[in-house]
Amino acid sequence: MKRVLIIALACSLSGAAFAQEKMDKKMDAKMDHKMDHKMDHKMDMKKDCVMMKNGKMMMMKDGKMMKMDKDMTMTDGTVCMMDGTCKMKDGKTMKMKNGDKCYMDGSMGMMKMKKGMKHKM
């Protein structure tokens, strides 16, 4: 009789342990979803930028490109001017060339080249 009672107790405890593991996985999945949403927001912010295109400073905001009409200050303190000069927070200045981008967080990048296009140097 003791053996049956011990086996029943062991089965119920192991069942509870398995149920706890499933709950942990559900919580992890919810946290992953929240992190994905935050990353999507950061990626949206990365799309917004100023860029030099065909010798003119352009601004990309919410997927729409328009001519830059005034100097802009990025979130890190970098200032991009209408002539393509960017003054970084640390005092360094650089002149943007065709294809250069400055994102709203102040990081710099290059436009992606489409297949078959050649980058002019």
Within the chain, which residues score under 70 in pLDDT?
15-46, 111-121
pLDDT tens per residue, range 46-62:
578 999 999 999 999 88
**What's the number of domains the chain is made of?**
2
Q: Do the domain assignments include residue 17?
A: yes
Please enumerate, as own/partner, the contacts of 40-43 that have beta carbons within 8 Å and a separation of 24 or more: none
Q: Do the domain assignments include residue 116?
A: no
Q: Do the domain assignments include residue 119?
A: no
Q: For a pLDDT cut of 90, what percent of the chain falls above it?
A: 40
Q: Which residues pair with 60 in a beta bridge?
A: 49, 65
pLDDT tens per residue, range 2-20:
788 788 777 777 766 555 5
Q: Do the domain assignments include residue 96?
A: yes
In a shared domain, residues 55 and 39: no
Q: What predicted TM-score, i.e. pTM, was given to this entire model?
A: 0.54
In a shared domain, residues 19 and 60: no
Separation of CA 6 from chain center: 54
Q: Could you tell me the residue range of the domain that residue 101 belongs to?
A: 48-110
In a shared domain, residues 75 and 29: no
